Structure formats: structure tokens, C-alpha cells
Amino acid sequence: MGQVNVRVNGYNHTIGCKDGEEQHVQDLVAQLEEKVRVIRSMGGQFSEARMLLHVALLFADEANDLRVDLARLRSQGAVSAAPAPAAPAPDPRLAERLSRIAERIEGIATAIEKS
């Protein structure tokens, strides 16, 4: 099993991943850091847990906007409801991976709140 040492909002974390997924994890962390910069640019002081909550909300908002746009395009007939045949099949382990990441974030937030 691979591990990646990352830094988010000034804190170092070790993230476990499957061998070969290290760069993907680093790319995801870069997206997180970009959201952290957006939140910081708004001013104010946030605890680590609150910062992570705001970052998660930004991602959720973006995902919602994409779903709305996709539904609009489908209703206009611009996008087929079925995925294109050449599209790769979704990773069936994605939900499990996201669940593990969410658990890690919750653990980090809990540990920070206790300190």
C-alpha cells in the first residue's frame, strides 16, 4: 500500500493509497489547497475543522452546479442520458475510497478540535 505525505492548510498528513495512486492523491490535495486559499482570501479565522467544512461545501457546490448543468444539457438533448460507449466504466471502489477519505477528514477534524 502506498503512502503520500501531503500538506493541507499548513498541516502535514500521511495519506494511505493504493500503489500507483500517489500522484492522483497529490493532484487531489492540490485541489484542496486551492479551495483553502479561496477560503483564506475571504478573511476571518477558521479552526481546522471549520476550514475543512468550508472546503467540502465549495466542492459540494461545484458538484451540484455540474449536476444542474448536466440535467439542463440532457433536457435540451445536448447530452445523451447514457454514457458514451468509449467512456471508461466508473470505478466501483470509488464510494469506498471516498468513504475512507471522509473518515480520515473526520478523524483529523476531531483530533484538531480536541487539541
Query: Could you read off the pLDDT tens digit of each residue along the chain, which spans 115 residues?
Result: 889 999 988 889 999 999 999 999 999 999 999 999 988 888 878 888 888 888 999 999 999 999 999 888 888 887 665 655 555 566 667 666 766 777 777 777 766 667 6
pTM score, whole prediction = 0.59
Taking the domains of the chain in order of start, what are their residue ranges?
A: 2-78+91-114
Give Cα 70 to chain centroid, integer Å: 20
